[in-house]
Structures are given as C-alpha cells and as structure tokens.
Structure 1
C-alpha cells in the first residue's frame, strides 16, 4: 500500500514511526517531511498547503491512502479536493475543520449544543473589547479567532496584559487575518488534559488521555508555546472524568457536527480542563495534537493504518493500549517561541538507547548531520512501566544538549511534584 502523509513536524514523524511498525508492507511518502522523517520514508518537496501539488502527486504516484497532519491543509480543503477526485484520505473536510479554524464558530457551536465550555464574547472592534475587559477584569483569556500556530492565546493575569493582547491582535495585526476577530473568555482554573478520538460521523473511538506542557520554562513559567513536552496516560486523572468527557463532550460534538451538515471524519482533539462542574472544553482541534501524538501513539497496540481504514469504513477498530507510560520532552531552539536560532548543528546523539526520537524542525545535511530549522527541534521520549523510569531515561538522553546553549528543554515534564 502506498501511503502519503502530509506535514513536516513532530506529529507527522510520530505518524510515520507508527506506520513503519505495520506488518503489512507500506510504501510511505511524506510531503514535505523533515530531516528525521527522511531516514524512514520518502520525502517529497511539496508544501503541506499546496493542495494542487499534493493532489497531482497522489494521482501520478497511485497513492492508496493519504493521512493529513497539519491544520492548515485541512482548513484549506485538502480533504474536499482529494475526495472530489475519488481518492482515499483521512481527515475532516474544510467545513468540519472549521471547529479548529474559527474559535468563534467553535464557541457558538458549543453553546448551541450544550457542550461545557467557558463563557465568552467575540469582538472585532478594539474599544468594545476593552470595555468588556474592564467589566470582567483579570485573569481572563484572549484568543485570536483563526489559526495562529498554537501561539494565538494569551492567558492574561492582569487587565493591562489583556488590553495589550487585544490591541496587538486587533490594532497591530500581529496574527494577520487570524487575529482580525478575538474571542475573550473567562479564565478557568484547574488541571488541563488532552483527549483525542478517531471519529467517523457519530462514531467516536477515544484514545488515551494526555497532558502537555505549554509554557516555555520549568514550573509553567514563560510564554505559551506549541508544547514543550507531554505524557500519557495521566496518573492523577480519574477515569470517571474521562468517561464524562467522552459522553458529554466528544460524542455530542460528533453528533452536533452531523446536525450542522459538517459531518466529521478524522481525529477530533479536545483540549479540556478539570473544573468543579466537570471537564470543560478549552479548545477543539481537527487533527492529532502536537506533542501529545508523540506520547499517545507509542502506547497504541493496533496498527495505525488498519485503525484508519476501519474507522473510515465505519467499523469499530477495537483499540487496545499498552500498560505503561510514555513521556517526551521537547528540545527547542534558543529564543523559542519568539525569534529563535536556526541552522544550528545538533550535537551527536546516542545511537543505542531505549528512547525514541521524534524530529520536528530539522534537516539532514549532505554530510549526514542534522541542523535545526524550527523552534521545536525534536522530542525525546520513552515508554516504561512507570512514569519515573520513563522520565529518567528521557532526561539521561537529553543531556547530550547540555554542552551548548543553542538549545533548551524543560526539566520537569511529567513531574508529579
């Protein structure tokens, strides 16, 4: 089977690594891929939002199945384009992907379908937004309505921070069109967790929960990032809360999307938070989370390709999971999530290891060395019977990056302290 994976980050490398474990022969292509992916699959130089280029490649190379990684391809309609040509592809249509593409749509959808989430208001005018902030006070959350690569959310602890966030989006246009509308919502206190599920219409097959670390520095300090590490499952998360989230959030969302004429097929990601009233939705994504995918897929015992085929065909994939814990920490470029260093050679990494390495922002030079190309460079992960052993192996491995100050990583990923 010829499989095309669309994307170039850590999520896509994790998908490739899982596909490589398949017992059936898979010929894997990745567009555009990265340095780490290049050693395990055939990378093709097509951008993930070049829908015409992707479609042409799939047709000319008789691709049997395409798996979409990044949100931008989904919101721009890659699934619609492939399905119009009769090609098999796994992901939601442009219409269904709006649940991630517009936070305003997602919030209105949740309100309409009684899905638990924070109270909110949406604004396009800065003065009206400021007046609302003055009324509500801080802490409060300001979000760019559209896609902003995981950076369009400001958790403001002071009124001044909130006003600055609104002005940067609506006046300074810091996120372009994505920030031309802002969603301001109440701050919810509690522990966050991510719950992803394979979805086809009203059928929902949940994965193991995960928890990621958004802040750049130890002890949840510093700016929000796309994620500095993650672990799965979540030891302090009661199964009852997971069950509640499946029954009162994921399933009603899938049903509601069908009712809206936006039937969802693909991965539905719920970014959730524990509250005294039960889990509530912080955000929805229309694809696998990054970096949660890197620690959830290694625990999946099923073959990923078979799961995708089963789900798309309307069959129960009967998901089974390893008994253990996966933990991964991200090695990032100095300066991330702001202006960061690029084209830095990575140190020599240990070859013999119980860890797995997921590349995100790397390229492979002609000399065989890896160089950084992104803010999040790679993730080092491990699967063990208990979290402490997994953490120990991960942090032993990432010591290879301590010899330079061109990279940094959090030292408390998965810590119970």
Structure 2
C-alpha cells in the first residue's frame, strides 16, 4: 500500500542520514527526485572506489539500500542555471529535504526562505548534526560523532577501562531517517488540515537524547551516571544471554520473573529448584542471583541452542536466538513478514535489500526499482517538467545537467 503516492519529494542531500528519510518516503510511495552533482553524484557513491568500504562484486551496499525507489536527477546547483532548474522542480513539489550545512544552503540558494519563496506550500525538512540553534548549529556532523560519541551511546555501551565500542555502519543515520520521515508525514497531515506548510528539523544529537532518554532521565533524577556492567549477578537471572553447547547463545528475556519461573524451570529440566527453599521467594532469588546465573550458565552449556529452543517453544517464556546480521537475513520470521525483499538489478541480477519497517494494511513495502545511476532520470524528469529537448541539450553542453 503506497500511502504517499502522489507526493513529490526533492532530495538535496548526501551520505545517509537525510537520504535514508527520503528512502522511507519512497518506500511509502512518494516520488523522490534525488538531486545529485552531474559528474560525481552523492559522495557516498565513492566509498567503494576510495577503498573506505569493501565492495562485493563492485556493488556499493549503501547506494543499493538507500537509493532504491528513487530517481536520480543530475543538476549542478552551484550554477545559476542549475538553481533555476531546481526551482522549477520545487514549484511542483510537496517536500524539500536537505542535509546541507547552513553555509552551503545559503551559497546554493536553498535556505528555508529561498525555497519558500518558490513554493509557499512545500514542506521544508532538514537533518543536522546538532540542531538549528546553539553554538554548534552551523557545524557539520556524522552519526559516528554527533549521535554515537557526543550523543552518549558509545559511553553508555562501553565497559569502563575498555576501548570505546564503535557503532555499526550508519546505525544512527538509518534510525534518524525514520524520525525525519515521521516528521514529514506529520507536517503533510498538518498542511492537509490547515493549509500551513511547516519546517521540519531533526538532529543526530537530539535523536540520541531521545534514544537514551531512560539513561539520561534517570541520571538527572539521581544526580549520577547509571552504573554499567554485565548481566552476571543482576537481580533477575531470567534476563541474560546464555551460551549453549554449540557455542551459540540464547537470550532469556523475562522481566516478570515470578510469572515465568515455574514453567521455565520445568521446560529446561531444572524443576527441582522449585523445591529448594533457598530460592522459594523472589527476594531470595534476587539475593542469590549470582548462584542462579552460575547454575543456569552451566546447565545451558550441556545442550545445543536448537534443543533448548525446542524445549521452551511450548511455553509462554520469552526467549530468542542471539543472531548475527547474516543469520537474521535467514530468519524464518523475517521471511514471513517480508522484511527482506528481492529486487532485480540491471548489473548484479537479483539482490536482496531490507525493507523499511512500517507496513500498511498488512502489505510489505514494494521496491519498484533498484538504485539508479547518477543522472539516470534527468532527461525524462525535465521533459515531464515541460523543458524542451533543445534546452536539455544546451544544459548538457554546459555540464549543468547529466
């Protein structure tokens, strides 16, 4: 179900944070025109050739994942003619989305005021590192810095005295893209109801504050950082990953330990513990949590994970396999819900991409086209705009478009 069908989005953004938001809108059915430099395109296209990211058969997984369902329009907006072409596209757009820094927005004539002069009804959305106000509002940022390091997740997830845990590629960008997409959807709804087009702003730093809100609010209330450590010896032994005989791990996740305790022990053949007076109340179990962790750790190591999962399956217990990304890709639950979808690629054949997570009407996202090459849709887009072939040829001659 394409809930954004009929909405046109102009994307003037690079890398992943803001383009990921446009990908979500495209998945929901919006027509997304990705404006790229006519020669080198979005900077993320160069990650393979520059050696920063290893490529598989030449494929750039960033490009394939976040450029799908979009059209690439090559325009040099640093030129006056390029900006005039962009403005003509904006005239017929519903959303303008950008990741450009304030200086670049001013230089290219794409500030909120510039775009609003062209189309007063357009939703103007921007993704930034640090928000629209404050001493660092004009500074650049990436998710590895603005979100992960400065925003707190790295410090929160790193064991004291150990090197900082590094985030996975674009981890903050893809989650942040969902926030931007949600903000745009809300702004479109507001415009539909009131006629007013509002500006949308999401920052990587603000996103980190929201995602770490339990830590931050607790720390502010208590006046100290929350303690860090592993789950060994935590009050509830039913919230922990346990290693099995085959080296695989099983996550037990029962926050209401009292509710699940009897059936859990019976399922894993430790029912005799129910008769042990050392553990016959929640208070006693909390006091003896280290002993229980040790007992469960040793017990789970006696059989393979599949055996334990089969034993727990008939119960109401909350549990699951600890999986790598490649294992998740083959998870039958992922397949059943079509969280990974195939797409025919003109160069690589069938490839699989992850779906954006929101589904409407029980239908999965539709991937209508693979990631386009730079400027692949320029000519048809400009013809649809009413430009003549003579104009297009002249602009190509001047390297304004590709």
Larger Rg: 2
**TM-score scaled to structure 1, two decimals?**
0.31
Higher strand share goes to which structure? 1
**TM-score scaled to structure 2, two decimals?**
0.32
Higher helix share goes to which structure? 2
